[in-house]
């Protein structure tokens, strides 16, 4: 028998529109699974069961009163959790930190507003590391987020709770955010498809500034179509945004690219890490080589190229990252509640002068101009998403801050390149190890080129379907 969580978000939305499935049934099903499974995977830090049921009842009334089901919102009645770095009015918000144990959201982030307007049900807030800074999700406010493929291993970060929720069948899709790989990292270690959109595609407002343009909201899903549909809902600038992505052609949608053949693409591939000391694990090399073979089999041209960025940019990115760590205001009387890594990063950020910050930003922009020119002739770029398979809980967190940060850099030597450039990038779940651990590969595209990546990913998905792969906890 098919359970509700076996259905994709698109299938659930269609069943709601056709009055074959009630939003109340869907929400009750997920709340029941969260109650049984969440303590094992650490996906949710807050579950909004009462408000979710009320939203579901309202959605049900909308369906029953609709004259034309085709006019209903695209995600009506579909649960979509929100990462606990994004504010939801009236819902507790921790930023993954014990510093904010008494904060309640006083406004909806623009991405939350967009998801509400699409008819989705906000079922809870997903777990995130403190201020979203690390690439793993272990904090002082909730149990660690674990990949359901091996509960002794991390779900990644900083959207670790979001990925754990989707991979465990505790949500059909999830909103995430990505400032250095935070959608692609957990997507890789949880066996999911995730999209980091182009800079300026999704608004960061009204509270989160986009001064450096490194971070963006984006979707985490089990299928390319679900992710594309969620991206359609999230997309759009709002007044005050500093960046704006190239728009789609009039009337175009990202979901439409799922059914569109990509044609024969010229794809660069790079496996040389720019982070000194990073070593690519044999399983990640295997995933990269298998993806290459599949792309060739599908008729694409593959070209080996050298990285357009060098290791000299790593400390420059670190400068921006440490300054970003200081941008969340912390009451000095509560500063002792901060995690050691957060304190260490904030101390580094506080020591950066204005001149040094502007110089770092200018150097990254100069490198970006060279890199974009060097890769302009390619339709996509293939990398391993990560340098290693999923790591054990505590692998980073138990180390002292300097070693912790170094381990994170070596684990994620490819992802932050595309936060610097602003280009879209996806993690595609094409490979599993002999021990059953998922290993993603990353495809990056031209600025504004999410459509090409979606078409290509859908082609890969059709050739090597992954939707049937589920972890043992899926049947809990």
Kindly report whether the peptide bond that precedes residue 206 is cis, defined as omega within 30 degrees of 0.
yes
Q: pLDDT value at position 22? A: 98
Nearest C-alpha neighbor of 286 from the set 134, 179, 97, 441? 441
What lies within 8 Å, CB to CB, of 274 at 6+ separation is: 307, 309, 310, 311, 313, 314, 413, 414, 417
Taking residue 245's Cβ as centre, other Cβ atoms within 10 Å add up to: 22
Residue range 24-69, pLDDT digits in tens: 999 999 999 999 999 999 999 999 999 999 999 999 999 999 999 9
Name the more confident of 251 and 340. 340
Least confident of 165-179, 365-379, 394-408, 457-471: 365-379
Task: Name the phi and psi angles at 399, rounded to 5.
Answer: -85, 160
> For residue 140, what pLDDT band results from cuts at 50, 70 and 90?
very high
Furthest CA-CA distance within the chain: 63
Residue showing tokens 């949880």? 190
Could you give the C-alpha distances from 337 to 101, 150, 215, 317, in angstroms and in order? 10, 30, 25, 26
- Mean pLDDT of the 143-167 span: 98
Q: Which is the catalytic residue, given 154, 158, 177, 198?
A: 158
Q: What 3-state DSSP class applies to 364? A: helix
What lies within 8 Å, CB to CB, of 264 at 6+ separation is: 299, 300, 301
Is 235 a known active-site residue?
no
* pLDDT at position 249 over 90: no
The H or E element spanning position 189 is helix 184-190
Helix intervals (H) in 235-337? 282-297, 314-325
Average pLDDT over the chain reads 97
Is 168 a known active-site residue?
no
Report the DSSP beta bridge partners of residue 124. 47
**SS3 string of 200-220?**
CCECCCCCCCCCCCCCEEEEE
> For residue 309, what pLDDT band results from cuts at 50, 70 and 90?
confident
> For residue 1, what pLDDT band results from cuts at 50, 70 and 90?
low
Question: What predicted TM-score, i.e. pTM, was given to this entire model?
Answer: 0.98
Q: Which is the catalytic residue, given 22, 83, 120, 187?
A: 83
Q: Strands 173-178 and 380-384, how do they pair?
A: unpaired
Residue range 366-404, pLDDT digits in tens: 988 988 898 999 999 999 999 999 999 999 999 999 999
Is 51 a known active-site residue?
no
Q: Which is the catalytic residue, given 97, 154, 159, 182?
A: 182
The Cα 439–Cα 461 span in angstroms is: 15
The Cα 301–Cα 266 span in angstroms is: 5
**SS3 string of 7-43?**
CCHHHHHHHHHCCCCCHHHHHHHHHHHHHHHHHHHCC
The Cα 473–Cα 249 span in angstroms is: 42
Name the more confident of 111 and 212. 111
């Amino acid at each position: 028998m098919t359970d509700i969580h076996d259905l994709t978000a698109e299938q659930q939305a269609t069943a709601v529109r056709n009055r074959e499935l009630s939003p109340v049934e869907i929400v009750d099903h997920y709340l029941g699974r969260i109650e049984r499974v969440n303590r094992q995977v650490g996906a949710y830090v807050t579950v909004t069961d009462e408000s979710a049921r009320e939203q579901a009842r309202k959605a049900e009334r909308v369906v029953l009163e609709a004259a034309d089901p085709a006019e209903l919102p695209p995600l009506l009645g579909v649960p979509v959790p929100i990462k606990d770095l994004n504010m939801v009015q009236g819902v507790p918000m921790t930023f993954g930190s014990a510093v904010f144990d008494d904060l309640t959201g006083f406004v909806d982030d623009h991405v939350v507003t967009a998801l509400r307007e699409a008819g989705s049900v906000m079922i809870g807030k997903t777990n995130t590391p403190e201020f979203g800074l690390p690439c793993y999700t272990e904090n002082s406010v909730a149990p660690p987020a674990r990949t359901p493929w091996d509960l002794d291993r991390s779900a990644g970060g900083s959207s670790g709770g979001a990925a754990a929720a989707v991979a465990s069948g505790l949500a059909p899709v999830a909103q995430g955010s990505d400032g250095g790989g935070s959608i692609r990292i957990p997507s890789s270690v949880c066996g999911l498809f995730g999209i980091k959109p182009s800079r300026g595609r999704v608004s960061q407002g009204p509270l989160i500034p986009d001064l450096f343009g490194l971070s963006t909201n984006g979707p985490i899903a089990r299928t390319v179509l679900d992710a594309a549909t969620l991206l359609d809902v999230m997309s759009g600038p709002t007044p005050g945004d500093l960046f704006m992505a190239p728009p789609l052609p009039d009337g175009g949608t990202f979901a439409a690219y799922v059914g569109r053949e990509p044609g024969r693409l010229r794809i660069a591939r790079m496996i040389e890490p720019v982070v000194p000391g990073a070593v690519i694990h044999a399983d990640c090399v295997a995933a990269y080589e298998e993806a290459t073979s599949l792309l060739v089999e599908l008729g694409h041209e593959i070209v080996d190229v050298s990285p357009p960025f060098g290791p000299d940019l790593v400390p420059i990115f670190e400068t921006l990252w440490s300054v970003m760590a200081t941008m969340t205001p912390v009451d000095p009387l509560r500063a002792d509640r901060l995690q050691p890594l957060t304190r260490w990063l904030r101390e580094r950020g506080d020591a950066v002068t204005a001149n040094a910050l502007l110089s770092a930003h200018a150097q990254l922009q100069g490198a970006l101009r060279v890199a974009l020119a060097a890769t302009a002739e390619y339709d996509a770029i293939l990398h391993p998403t990560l340098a290693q398979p999923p790591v054990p809980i505590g692998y980073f967190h138990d180390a002292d801050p300097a070693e912790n940060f170094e381990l994170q850099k070596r684990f994620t030597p490819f992802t932050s390149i595309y936060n610097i450039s602003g280009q879209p990038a996806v993690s595609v779940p094409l490979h599993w190890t002999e021990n059953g651990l998922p290993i993603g590969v990353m495809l990056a595209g031209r600025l504004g080129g999410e459509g090409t990546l979606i078409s290509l990913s859908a082609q890969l998905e059709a050739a090597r379907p992954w939707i049937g792969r589920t972890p043992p906890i899926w049947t809990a």
